[in-house]
Amino acid sequence: MVQQARQSIPLNLGPLGETVIRRTYARAKQDGGIEDWYDICARVVNGNCSLVDSRFIEPEEPQKLFHLMVTMQIIPAGRHLWATGIHKYRQFVNNCFVADFTDEFHKHFTYTFLRLMEGGGVGANYSDRFIHSNPNQVNGYWVPDTVVNLHFLCSPNHQDIDRPVGAESDEPFRTLRDMLSTRYPVDYDGAENGNYLRVDDSREGWAEALEKLLQLHLSGRGEVDFVVDVGNVRPYGAELKGFGGKASGPGALMVMLYRINRLLNSRTGTPLSSLDYMEIDHYIAQAVIAGGTRRSARMSMKWWTDKDIFEFIHCKRDFRLHWTTNISVVVDDEFFRAVRNRKHPLHGWANRVLDEVIEGMLTNGEPGFINASQCEVDEAPGATFYSTNPCVTENTLVLTDRGMVPVKELRDEFTAVYNGEFFHSSGFFSTGKKPVYEVLTVQGSRLEATADHRLLVERDGTKQWVPISDLKPGDSVVIQGAIVADDEFDSLQDMLSLLGSESSDGTEFIWLPDKVDPYRWKAHLNMLGIKSVLVYRPSLDTWSLRIDKQYMRQARQAMRLRRLNRTSKKHRGEWLEQVQQVSPLGEMEVYDCTVEGAHCYVSNGFVSHNCGEIAMMRYPDMRSFDVCCLGHVNLAFAEDPVECFRLMSRFLLRATFAELSDELTRQNVQRNRRIGVGFLGFHEWLVKHGIRYSEASSSPWVARQLRKFREVVREEARRYARQMRIAEPIKCTTVAPTGTINNIPGVTSGIQPLYSPFYIRRVRYSNSDTELQRVLERGDYHHVESAINEPNTTVVSYVCRDITVDRLVSHLGDYEQVLSLLESQFDLDVSDFLRVQELVQREYADNAVSITINISAEEQRADRIRELLLLYLPRLKGVTMFPESSRPQSPLERISREQYELSATRVQNASYEEDCSTGACPVK
């Protein structure tokens, strides 16, 4: 197929596509050549399909995947392009990791170090409740108690001995030789004190050195020497065979250990703070970046009520500090209540947090916001992102294989019934006292639950999960029930004995006895799958239930057949009822569960979503070292988007079977199977259908398409998981920043609008990258300079016209028409960005939606940004804003059409490589 494709399928690469493929994803072949795009696609498809037994591969599925990849209608994330199909490296197919804090102080840091060295991105939550994880200290603090005297050894003949090591001006060394010990000889073997380590030339060897240093600082020994021999570490620029890239040399490791040791020595006897943890992680990331071939993608977050939140918000005011991470403040529903309610005890604090974050956004793009309450939606029971769980009260009836049973009797394992099928649950658990709301339908169905509890609702002809807080009068909720247990036949028979005569509309009715709960009777009929309407007659002060004869006839027939043993078929009924009102009831103790496979259950007849569906979560029984793997559908190129989304869902679910090097990560993956099916080229897709970006949020067609894509991914993931007898993915859809991937076809990243039809683009190259020399020889660049704060890196600038313009001209036929439809992000208001993000979050993504809202100078008004954040952020999982040209050497700088046409070195260029606002994104 590779040979046939080369002859029959021309590649539709973006202008930077070939460069990206060659420098980032192409591997050496056995015949001595280098892979091209056809080879990469074949390797990835074969490798992915080999992760599971062949009986789980559809007929012609590999061939379909290969064709879609070659034509760039689907593109797995760069981690797959780089590692899939290489057996010894297929544990590196995941993109996003989260590093928790455990009762082993070193675990967070060594895990972060390893994942960054492997090219992954790592997120960490530095909130007080997480970092204070010391089981032997009352407050959980970690307190360094030992001063460590660090000594380095290295052969004087090492190639890097006189190489500069990137020291800061206040550090007493400049070269590797300057850092060597004057106390211990080069042939020292550790006999004197045992605190000796000869570093192995591997990722694991570097992590071992870090682990040993961290352990010594909490060893209770007062003061010790630690001798580290780096003589075995290969020199700077040496090829990393197989894994790819160039070596950082021993200097990067030595500087990292020196800086971390200096910090911890200065904190001896003092509890470590969140900023101390972040500083250690920063030094780790600097060591990874120092080789110049790998970038370091980190996300740091902190809870809004932490006492040092303002130090966190301000930690990047000096751009030289913490530049290896993006930062975000974690907020929740309580934050928004505090901001709005002057009587709230944290009103002043919350408003100060909001104002100072906005100031940071408008100054340098950080911090961003992460909404914990939205991230919590669909997560597993007990998962912690510091928010409430969606819950119901203890008397709520749940449909089980034993019939309808109240929540308070389902604390142990039980079998839930949904759609006539059986699903295991580990049982309900209390989540404490929380505000509870009553949902009441016109027909008399009633449910008590928390505001974030989601119900199955039919809107615009499709079923979707809607939080109770978003329900409106007239919404159509799904009601469902079934007769599944023998004793329920007797219960139904008792009800039938109370039936009165037929009413004028052909329904039958039950006059309810005095002193009974009419809503409970209505719930019983719902749970039995019998449609009814609860009626109150004020003149008689009586209640009755009008029963639909068709549903009753079906129930009676099922009863007769069951008793005659002619069938075991269960009666099941489903219908819609209209919401009458949602009203608060006050605080009550509430309960939640997870239902494996279905992730929902029937409660009082309502179909309730449990909380068992990339925010990573922490569990009561397991720390969070979770991962997510990503893949994308290129909407700009996709001929059959639905099939593309379906096959990408299968591709990513298979990828969860790749080997994992960490046991805690393996446990998280087996529980959650997180995947993130996303898309590229959204803006071009809109324009091809005659829709401006600013009009997308009000387009019913766009909303329907996004819902269709989401349901295809979810249903295929559910079906495929059942086929393979594994847990259904807890979350499936996302819109992620796509790194270099969108540059292969030259389309916009995710839902990002076109930056500008004309711009200056800055591309970073390692000084050891052979591609840099090729670029310089080609000579079509605008400017060349050394990178600020990134050692051994060169920045090359190009004057560009975005290739999207040319493709759309080819499709629509008119250059001026394209420019009038193709709004750039600077033609858009901030509210346009937020409306589109909200649309995609609501209709498509169960994980987060990544978009960077670039703000022009005219829009940098704090009061307006504040107003918009309070309007949209409560419904989003996060918001990132970035002021134009707020950082030196920004990846992009827009120019006018006239400036482009006057440039002597102009090029057609793909849309930009998605750099994070700090420049801290992974190469792959």
The type of residue at 394 is E
pLDDT at position 550: 84
Provide the CB-side half-sphere exposure for 680 (13 A, CA): 34
Pairing of strands 298-303, 793-802: unpaired
Angstrom distance (rounded) from CA 116 to CA 586: 47
% helix / strand / coil in the chain, to the nearest 5?
A: 35, 25, 40
pLDDT of residue 913: 37
The mean-pLDDT minimum among 487-496, 514-523, 577-586, 747-756 falls in: 487-496
Q: Which residues pair with 479 in a beta bridge?
A: 575, 606
Is the dihedral angle over the CA atoms 111, 117, 123, 129 positive or is it negative? positive
3-state secondary structure of 624: coil
pLDDT class for 923, splitting at 50, 70, 90? very low
**Is 270 within 8 Å of 145 (Cβ atoms)?**
no
* H/E run at residue 852: strand 852-855
pLDDT tens figures, 53-62: 999 999 999 9
Most trustworthy range by pLDDT among 21-35, 108-122, 588-602, 825-839? 825-839
The size of the chain, in residues, is 924
- The CA distance from 198 to 59, in Å, is 52
**pLDDT tens across 333-369, in order?**
889 999 999 988 889 999 999 999 999 888 878 888 9
Q: How far apart are CA 818 and CA 808, in angstroms?
A: 6
Tokens of 401: 């294989």
Residue 181, classed as helix, strand or coil, is: coil
What is the average pLDDT score of the chain? 83
| Cα dihedral 110→113→115→116 (10° resolution) | 170
Examine the pLDDT at 624 and tell me if it is beyond 90: no
Measure Cα distances from 196 to 156, 165, 187, 192, 251 in Å.
19, 23, 12, 9, 18
Q: Return the ∠ at Cα 669 (arms to 668 and 675), rounded to 5°.
A: 125
Asked if the model's pLDDT at residue 724 lies above 60, the reply is: yes
Residue 792: band (very low, low, confident or very high) from pLDDT cuts 50, 70, 90: confident
User: Is residue 534's pLDDT more than 80?
Assistant: yes
Those residues with Cβ within 8 angstroms of residue 235's Cβ, 6 or more apart along the chain or in another chain: 158, 159, 160, 163, 247, 249, 250
The model's confidence at residue 39, banded by pLDDT at 50, 70 and 90, is very high
pLDDT band of 728, cuts 50, 70, 90:
confident
Q: Check if the beta carbon of residue 101 is closer than 8 Å to that of residue 131.
A: yes
With CA atoms as reference, report the closest residue to 298 among 324, 328, 329.
Answer: 324
At 778, which amino acid appears? R
Burial class (CB in 10 A: 0-12, 13-18, 19+), 157: exposed
Distances, alpha carbon 450 to alpha carbons 53, 520, 590, 736, 883, in Å: 43, 19, 8, 30, 38
Whether residue 782 contacts residue 905, with contact meaning beta carbons closer than 8 Å, is answered with: yes
Helix 486-496 with 549-563: angle, nearest 10 deg: 130
Report the distance separating Cα 183 and Cα 177, nearest Å.
Answer: 14
- Give the Å distances, CA to CA, from 575 to 445, 526, 746: 12, 10, 47
- 743 is written with which tokens? 């540059």
Q: How far apart are CA 527 and CA 445, in angstroms?
A: 11
Ordered alpha helix ranges (H), 673-699:
682-688
> Residue 617: pLDDT band by 50, 70, 90 thresholds?
very low
8 A C-beta contact, residue 108 and residue 100: yes
3-class SS of residue 778: helix
Could you identify the residue written with the tokens 């505000």?
Answer: 435
Q: Other CB atoms closer than 10 Å to residue 425's CB: what's the count?
A: 23
DSSP label at residue 728: P
Between the two ends of the chain, the Cα-to-Cα distance in Å is 26
What pLDDT band is residue 293 in, cutting at 50, 70 and 90? very low
Q: Comparing C-alpha atoms, which of 923, 924, 916 is closest to residue 300?
A: 916
For residue 198 the two structure tokens come to 């000869």
**Least confident stretch, 37-41, 200-204, 257-261:** 200-204
Closest CA to 773 of 794, 789, 798, 797: 794
Pairing of strands 222-229, 146-153: parallel
pLDDT, tens only, 730-744: 788 988 877 678 889
Handedness of CA 809, 815, 820, 822 (dihedral sign): positive
DSSP state letter for 867: H
Residue 328 above 60 pLDDT? yes
- 506, pLDDT greater than 80: no
Structure token digits, residue 478: 């799904």
137 CB neighbour count, 10 Å cutoff: 12
Instruction: Note the pLDDT of residue 486.
Output: 64
Answer yes or no: are the C-beta atoms of 227 and 151 closer than 8 Å: yes
Specify the range with the lowest mean pLDDT, choosing from 290-304, 640-654, 751-765, 891-905.
Answer: 290-304
Residue with tokens 């197989």: 242
- What is the spatial distance between Cα 909 and Cα 637, in angstroms, rounded to a whole number? 17
Report d(CA 790, CA 120) in Å as an integer.
Answer: 18
- The answer to pTM > 0.85 is no
The torsion of the CA quartet 894, 899, 904, 905, rounded to 10 degrees, works out to 10
Contact 883, 826 (CB under 8 A): no
Omega cis (within 30) before 367:
yes
Nearest to 503 by CA among 576, 445, 552: 552
Is the pLDDT assigned to residue 483 strictly greater than 70?
yes
Q: Which residue has the tokens 């190009």?
A: 798
Q: Please state, in angstroms and as integers, the Cα–Cα distance from residue 387 to each residue in 334, 373, 381, 434, following that order.
A: 9, 5, 12, 11
The torsion region of residue 403 among left (phi > 0), alpha (psi -120 to 50) and beta comes to left
Q: How far is CA 621 from the centre of its chain?
A: 21
Cα distance between residue 641 and residue 685, in whole Å: 11
* 154 pLDDT higher than 80: yes
If we measure between CA atoms, which residue out of 251, 324, 322 comes closest to residue 291? 251
